[in-house]
Amino acid sequence: MLRGLILDFAGVLTDPDAKDLLAVVDDLRRKRIRTALLSNADGRGGNGPLARHFDALVFSGEVGLAKPDPRVFLLTAERLGLPAPACVMVDDSRRNIEGATAAGMVGVHHTSVEGTLAELSALFPA
């Protein structure tokens, strides 16, 4: 059973329609789905406006691991208190999705908010 959702920042949450994606993140949190932001950024800004949408924030610059290394996905799942196979990773980089699936996660390759929302509705049915 899927109980965790992990989102990349650049390319996913920088999409012009990202507010629609964040609304779904908030709805899933209300349904007890754990959420995380996983970014290859340095981490300065971890307490910014996006922080309220997530249970965990993982920045490569802070943890010393970067996507697509499967270890950073395992670390993120651990910070959510979940096994990797219970998590979905959304990223705009196919290479990063390959790293997530190598760690045992379900991968969603983000190409548009509309497409990602359709996939998430199938993975996390109401």
The pLDDT value given to residue 109: 98
The pLDDT value given to residue 43: 74
Residue 121 in this model has a pLDDT that exceeds 70:
yes
∠ Cα 37 55 91 (to 5°):
20
Q: Which CATH number belongs to the domain containing residue 25 in this structure? A: 3.40.50.1000
Look up residue 73 and give its two tokens. 């996905």
Residue 123 in this model has a pLDDT that exceeds 90:
yes
The pLDDT value given to residue 45: 56
∠ Cα 115 118 120 (to 5°):
110
- The alpha-carbon radius of gyration of the chain (Å, integer) is 13
The pLDDT value given to residue 47: 65
pTM, to two decimals: 0.96
The pLDDT value given to residue 48: 79
Domain count, the chain: 1
19: containing domain: 4-123
Sequential DSSP letters for 65-110: --TT-HHHHHHHHHHHTS-GGGEEEEES-HHHHHHHHHTT-EEEE-
In the numeric block, the tokens 């249970």 are attached to 55
